[in-house]
Amino acid sequence: MGMVGGGPGAFIGAVHRIAARMDGQIELVCGAFSSHPEKSKQAGEELFLDPGRVYNSYAEMFEKESRLPKGERMDFVSIVTPNHLHFDPAKMALEHGFHVVSDKPMTFNLDEAEKLKAIVDKTGLLFCLTHTYTGYPMIKQARHFIKDGKLGKIRKVYVEYPQGWLSTPLETEGNKQASWRTDPKKSGMAGSLGDIGTHAANLAEYVSGLKIVKVCADINIVVPGRALDDDDAVLLKFDNAASGVLIATQIAAGEENCLKIRVYGEKGGIEWKQDDANTLLVKWLDKPAEIIRTGGPGNYPEVLFNTRTPAGHPEGYLEAFANLYRNFALCLCAGLNHEAPKPEWLDFPGVEDGVRGMLFIEKVIESGRSERKWIEV
């Protein structure tokens, strides 16, 4: 694979590389790691890359790589830049025939998202959007459990993603991660909503199998001087008449990343949280709650397929991330071999999730500004 972004000082680029590398199927062969050529070069050296394949720009990379012989050139590109730099490299990669893995949110705005979807649809190339949390085995267990009807008709979805790291104006203190995330020119129309709220929304839809159709949002800027939201709460309506609550905040001082989801149906409910990622709690109306554990009794085969160790050896964020890359790579290899991918390989978020994410952002921000209670998605 090649990489766009992820140079010195970046966080998520290194995570993508570990995830891609974990299962021994994917090799990083080239990159345009920074808009500063020296920084890109430095990153390439640290990654033991052939200097000839460390590029000054992604435009250069796509062009030169596409001229390399098949089997030698990169198979796909991984885009790990800030939001405003997702669309252009993705579009260009696809137009040069490369499959794409992109960080989320997919684009800067909904318009770009729809355009990108059109290109993906037209080229027929693979597109993976790294909504990491869908890669957790127990999240997949929950999804299959609900799909199987174990909980009966779904009635309620609570999802929350509380963080505290933006409780102070870090962006004024030279924190690179804070700076672009709070900058409307780089982040888009949303702050915390785009950064973590879309993860929560995507997770809610992935687990419940439902679609959000209406939102009513309280969108706040809590830290003075900030231009984008750092705190969000959204009432939700789903397409089967279930309702829900989504919380995303970056000013819950003292919180780390304890993304949590609860879904209740007629017969029971499930609960999962990232801090105890290998446990799925299943609660029942009329019998004792059960604890399903990664790799333990009761796992669906599709879940076991996404684990690497026997039950009790905790797998974490990087393994969840690696599941996305692994499944994407399996599909890619199947394509190279002109074989049909197995159904479980197709289990990674794609361009459709990306469009829904951007739609969600636009509608929630609209709701936040509106005096009307419900906005349709």
The footprint of a copy of itself on residues 27-66 (CB under 8 A) is 28, 47-48
Residues near 230 by Cβ (< 8 Å), separated by ≥ 6?
Answer: 166, 182, 191, 192, 220, 221, 222, 223, 249, 250, 251
d(CA 171, CA 296): 43
CB count within 10 Å of CB 134 equals: 23
Nearest residue (CB) to a copy of itself, 69 versus 254: 254
Task: Choose one: 59-67, 312-320, 344-352, 357-365; the region binding a copy of itself (CB under 8 A).
Answer: 312-320
Task: Choose one: 183-191, 201-209, 256-264, 341-349; the region binding a copy of itself (CB under 8 A).
Answer: 256-264
Window 123 to 142, contacts with a copy of itself (CB under 8 A): none
Smallest gap from Cβ 88 to a copy of itself, in A, equals 28
Place of tokens 């019998």: 287
What residue type is 274 in one-letter code? Q
Strand pairing category for 2-4 and 76-79: parallel
Smallest gap from Cβ 166 to a copy of itself, in A, equals 11
285 touches a copy of itself (CB under 8 A): yes
Structure tokens at 275: 């801090």
Sign for the pseudo-dihedral over CA of 75, 120, 342, 347: positive
229 touches a copy of itself (CB under 8 A): no
235 touches a copy of itself (CB under 8 A): yes
Of 40, 78, 274, 306, the one binding a copy of itself (CB under 8 A) is 274
Of 52, 124, 297, 343, the one binding a copy of itself (CB under 8 A) is 297
Binding string, 151-170, against a copy of itself, x = CB under 8 A? x---xx-x----xxx-xx--
Sheet (strand 154-162) strand order: 279-284, 268-273, 260-265, 154-162, 243-249, 231-238, 212-220, 375-376
d(CA 359, CA 2): 29
290 touches a copy of itself (CB under 8 A): yes
Of 112, 183, 229, 231, the one binding a copy of itself (CB under 8 A) is 231
Window 318 to 337, contacts with a copy of itself (CB under 8 A): 318-319
Of 39, 144, 186, 283, the one binding a copy of itself (CB under 8 A) is 283
172 touches a copy of itself (CB under 8 A): no
CA 217 to chain centre: 22
276 touches a copy of itself (CB under 8 A): yes
CA dihedral 87, 128, 354, 118 (to 10 degrees): 60
